Structure 1
Amino acid sequence: MLELFLNKPKQMELRSMEALPALKDDEVKIRLVYGGICGSDLSVFLGKLTHASYPLRPGHELLGHIIEAGKNVPYELGTRIIVQPNSYCGECVNCLNGQTNICPEKKSLGVTVNGGFSEQFIISSKYVMPVPDDLPDERAVLVEPFAVIVHAFKKVHITKGTTVAVLGCGNEGMLAVALAHYLGADVTAMDINPIKLELIKTLGDIRVIHPDELKGETFDIVVEAAGAQSAFENGLRLVRPGGQMILIGLTPEATIPVIRVVRSEITLYGSIIYNIPDDFQHAMEYLRDTNFNVQPIVSKIIPFTDYKHAFEDALSGNYGKVLLDFKKNPV
């Protein structure tokens, strides 16, 4: 069996795995189908996440099948599953309040512990969820990243005619544009990359624009998905009085004009990952609707053995989601 392994930033290799241990009673062994490359994977690869641990196996957007199960696992062999890649203790105040996403004991696959970019891996059944039969693989693999947007959008009310601006059209930004459009909003997508803006147009009747071209306009809701200081500061200027801003991008720091936030009664929402199982379930409900257009978001599917090509494409910023295909080398 093979796995991708990151010895240190920018030094990834394809190597043979050590034999997997015997399963614990609550664990499952997964044969991977697809693994999605996301922004945090790229940040770990580049060494830009200060809390990442090396060496480690990357990967957290994972779709596969159960091929072995411990005696206390409630799923049958062959069940198609997605992985919830963030652990939680279940006992702290946050967990007991349903906020597993901010558990202080949280560990993240592919960031602080070994991820799932391997032909087979073992995980507690607590962190897997069955996929409905009518949800194709290419949409099912989007459940984890899309749950981030589902969780964020629960903080605001978006309906027909709501004006929404999305700053940054990476994977999460594209998913935010797709969901806001699906909910009936008048969406303006902004990015500095014209290739990304052309890709956004394939999601529907969506206005696209370079951030510098927007003058004097404000929006009911602004979604900051770029994770850059300039995007945050520009986005705050775009919120109408009484409006709301959702912060998804991990901007290290920025200047906040507090007096404008106060006088205009602007509400800022920080949003990190998702809560389990609700946000995953709601994400799957959206994705099961064939009228919800997310097909253009998956730009490339590349055999995992060609991982160098896949990561180069993802790092270029010129594509939507790049998937690693683990079916090309059947175990």
Structure 2
Amino acid sequence: MLTAPNAAEIQDVAPPEPQPGHVVVDVHRAGICGTDIEFYTGEMAYLHSGHAAYPMRIGHEWMGTVSAVGDDVDASWLGVRVTGDTMLGCGVCRRCLRGRQHVCEFRYEVGIRGGWHGALAEKVAVPVGSLHRLPDSVDDATGAMVEPGGNAFRAARGADLAPGDRCLVLGPGTIGLLSARFAQAAGAEVHLMGRSERSIAFAGSLGFDGVWTQDELPDLPWDAVIEASNAPHLPERALELVEPGGRVVYVGLAGVPSVIDTRQLALADVTAVGILSASPGLAGTIEAYASDAVDPRPLIAATVTLEELPAILAGERPAGAGAGPKFHVAI
């Protein structure tokens, strides 16, 4: 539970009961995301807009086994290994009825928005319609990487890559690295640009075609640029780098507004794509993981317990942790 900025603790809470249309999942594995860190520090925008408030239970990257179902839910869900959509729309508005519940104005977000309890707990309750089954070929660690993978899957799809295209990913964090992996799976030549020595060194170990600092970046024609950083100046830089007629995908979010020159966008006939949420990409991500077209597990630096989690949120890296950007909690 997060109780205030920079305050996290383990609490005993009442277990959730399955309501009509809902299930309870025994959580096996959950991931820590940059959004969780922002909630811990108090910087997350939802805390200031009224969409979230302390105390709150975070956690939106998860997998587990269905252990209880509501009265009107098919009992065949019991015992099924699942992950779930973070975005829970109202189900009746125009956006929801068009399959865009992830941008529903009235949506809840598991562990993020509207007070819906997250999965950094022994159990989480979610609507049955938000569930995605995990095949046996997707292990627990991989299953908890489906949610971040869905964002990356959509980013790579948004880049509309063909075999032989050259793609540049800005920001070698979890989403950037996974976007690069999905771009590789599409047959593209993939490069990344980063800043810190650790992230650049780690990205360089994953077999991409090039990993660069901003000063070292070669002058190459980039058919697509995926902007996956939190740097406010890089959205503009992405537009400067992409080839005329190419695509820029914006999946990273800075803490302050970024500015681009739309004249440059129009005069170069560039397509700009914005990505919010893994929702439309969850099924495709599970399929890619199950077929081993993309393996997200090398990004996991360490797996810790709930009791060790407050220190991770405060920025500590446990002894023996790998160089990857992702931490998991085994529950």
Residue in 2 aligned with 1:89?
90
Query: Which of 26, 31, 37 pairs up with 2:32?
Result: 37
In structure 1, the residue matched to 2:182 is 179
SS in 2 for 1:229: coil
- Structure 1 residues 13-162: aligned runs within 5 Å: 13-17=9-13, 19-52=14-47, 53=52, 54-74=54-74, 75-112=76-113, 113=115, 114-162=117-165
Deviation at 1:140, TM superposition (A): 1.2
Deviations 1:10-43 (A, max 9, x none): 11111111x2354223221211101100111111
Partner residue, 2:328 = 323
- Kept after mapping to 2: 8 A contact 1:177/1:187: yes
Post-superposition CA distance 1:99-128 (Å, at most 9, x none): 222111112122222212111232222222
Name the % identity: 25
The answer to whether the 8 Å contact 1:181/1:206 transfers is: no
SS of equivalent to 2:158 = coil
One-letter code of the match for 2:90? C
Cα distance change of structure 1 residues 151 and 100 upon mapping to structure 2, 3 Å threshold: farther
Residue deviations 1:47-104, cap 9 Å, x none? 1212132220111111111111122223432111102121102222222222222111
RMSD: 2.1
What is the TM-score when the length of structure 2 is the normalising length? Answer: 0.90
Deviation at residue 156 of structure 1 after TM alignment = 3.3
- What whole-Å deviation, never above 9, does each CA across 1:232-262 have from its counterpart, x for those lacking one? 1222211111111000012331221232222
* Cα distance between partner residues in 1 of 2:222 and 2:12: 51
Residue 329 of structure 1 corresponds to: none
Q: 1:222 aligns to what SS in structure 2?
A: strand
Aligned to 2:299: 297
> d(CA) in 1 for partners of 2:86 and 2:279?
12
Which ranges of structure 2 fall in alignment gaps of 5 or more residues? Answer: none
The answer to which of 125-134 and 218-227 deviates more is 125-134
The DSSP-based 3-state class of the residue aligned with 1:286 is helix
For residues 21 and 39 of structure 1, do their structure 2 counterparts lie closer, same or farther at Cα, with a shift above 3 Å needed? closer
Is the Cα–Cα contact under 8 Å of residues 170 and 317 in structure 1 kept in the other structure? Answer: no
Q: CA-to-partner distance for each residue in 1:151-207, whole Å, 9 max, x for gaps?
A: 233333212211111001111011011111121111111110121122213322431
Structure 1 residue 132: Cα displacement: 0.9
Of 270, 274, 277 in structure 2, the residue corresponding to residue 270 of structure 1 is: 274
On the 8 A contact 1:229/1:254 being kept in 2, the answer is yes
CA distance in 2, matches of 1:22, 1:99: 28
For residue 314 of structure 1, report the CA deviation from its aligned partner.
Answer: 6.8
Distance 2:195 2:111 in 1: 29
Shift of 1:291: 4.4
State the alpha-carbon separation in 2 of the partners of residues 111 and 291 from structure 1. 30
1:290 is displaced (CA, Å) by 2.4
Give the Cα–Cα distance (whole angstroms) in 2 for the partners of residues 215 and 304 of structure 1: 43
Is contact 1:181–1:187 with CA below 8 Å preserved after alignment? yes
Unaligned runs of 5+ in 1: 327-331
CA drift at 1:299: 1.8
- Give the Cα separation in 2 of the matches to 1:186 and 1:296: 20
User: Bigger shift: 187-196 or 215-224?
Assistant: 215-224
> How far apart, in 2, do the equivalents of 1:226 and 1:90 lie?
32
Q: Letter of the aligned partner of 1:10 in structure 2?
A: N
| CA separation of 1:106 and 1:131: change in aligned 2, threshold 3 A | same
The letter for the 1-side match of 2:72 is N
* Cross-structure match for 1:199: 202
Query: Which of 5, 9, 31 is the matching residue for 2:5?
Result: 9
Q: Describe the shift of the 1:233–1:242 C-alpha distance in structure 2 as closer, same or farther (beyond 3 A).
A: same
Per-residue deviation, 1:212: 2.3
Q: Distance in 2 between matches of 1:314 and 1:321?
A: 11
The aligned counterpart of 2:259 is 255
8 Å CA contact 2:87, 2:279 repeated in 1 = no
Could you say what secondary structure the match of 1:145 adopts?
A: helix
* Deviation >6 Å, runs of 4+: 314-317
SS of the equivalent of 2:30 reads strand
> Taking structure 1 as the reference length, what is the TM-score of the superposition?
0.90
Q: Contact 1:37–1:314 (CA<8 Å) still a contact in 2?
A: no
1:283 corresponds in structure 2 to 285
